[in-house]
Amino acid sequence: MTITAAADGSALGNPGPAGWAWYVDDASWAAGGWKHATNNQGELKAVLELFRATKHIDDDLLVLCDSQYVINCVTKWMRGWKAKGWRKADGKPVMNVDILKEIDEEIVGRRYRFEWVKGHANHPLNEAADVRARGAAESFQRGAPVRSGPGYTASGTRSAAAAAAAAPHAASPAAPLTAPPAAPQSTPRFTHDELFSLDDADLGDANETIDDHQLGFDSRDSAELRSVSERQSVTLTLSAEDYSRLAQRAQVRGVSIEDCLRGLI
């Protein structure tokens, strides 16, 4: 049987308060974070903790990930970096090397495959991991306890496998488990040709400076919204889908929907 799980990370400010999470289903997930880290560190840590949590299970592992950086690190670049003493082609040290070394140890003897999924595109497992990773980052930002989750439970694997089979991004069971990920149909930052023509140092620098989990407006917009909120109330109309996602975020953080919305502004 195949364990299908999403792994995701979040950093508020990138770097800043950061979180990681992996998610199989509501009975099998985990999250954590740091007071200060990057989005890439959160993404890599989520993958590392997923491998650790499932190391005692003799099942194949399908990792759904919205980070091309993480997928390429593990499936394409890590072997070469290791052979060069964990240095890149330009001789500079590999970024996030401590986490990468730990991942390298955990994948020995494992049957696994990575699949890229587009972030914030309503993929149920990716969305669930994203909510928990961002919730952990927000908890560190507030100095509040982090909801760490139940960890891996075998009862979650069958329901997760059924959900993955019905999901639009489910992988073909005939695909080789250690093959590099298929080329994405679309990517939020680069075309496929651009991505694979970049030097690994350039790609790492680009990923370190981009936060996939920001809300899409700059600091001036934020200041204007805060200013407006101090003077008057604001009525917001949400679609049923947006309201459901907001409610899920609020539940993970343990706050009301209104307080969760205020925290996003």
Query: Which member of 25, 43, 200, 211 is catalytic?
Result: 43
Pair 44, 166 in one domain: yes
Kindly give, in sequence order, each residue whose CB lies less than 8 Å from that of residue 206, ignoring residues fewer than 6 positions away.
189, 198
**Euclidean distance between the first and the last CA atom of the chain, given in angstroms as a whole number:** 43
Residue 236 pLDDT level (bands cut at 50, 70, 90): low
Read off the pTM.
0.64
Q: Residues 93-105: what's their mean pLDDT?
A: 98
Pair 137, 65 in one domain: yes
Kindly give, in sequence order, each residue whose CB lies less than 8 Å from that of residue 110, ignoring residues fewer than 6 positions away.
51, 55, 61
Residue 9 is among the residues annotated as catalytic for this protein = yes
Which residue range(s) make up the domain with 156? 2-214
Residue 123 is among the residues annotated as catalytic for this protein = no
Query: Which member of 120, 169, 192, 263 is catalytic?
Result: 120
Domain boundary among 214, 237, 255: 214
Give the number of domains in the chain. Answer: 2
Pair 88, 130 in one domain: yes
Query: Which member of 16, 19, 25, 66 is catalytic?
Result: 66
Q: For the stretch 28-51, what's the b/e string if a residue is b when 16 or more beta carbons lie within 10 angstroms of its beta carbon?
A: bbbbbbbeebbbbbbbbbbbbbbb
Residue 212 is among the residues annotated as catalytic for this protein = no
26 CB neighbour count, 10 Å cutoff:
12
Pair 167, 255 in one domain: no
Residue 8 is among the residues annotated as catalytic for this protein = yes
| Whether the predicted pLDDT of 228 surpasses 70 | no
Residue 259 is among the residues annotated as catalytic for this protein = no
Residue 120 is among the residues annotated as catalytic for this protein = yes
Pair 144, 165 in one domain: yes
Q: Are 151 and 16 in contact (CB under 8 A)?
A: no
Q: What is the pLDDT of residue 114?
A: 98
Beta-strand relationship, 60-65 and 2-11: parallel
Q: To the nearest whole number, what is the mean pLDDT of the chain? A: 76
Please give the Cα distance from 171 to 167 (Å, whole number).
Answer: 9
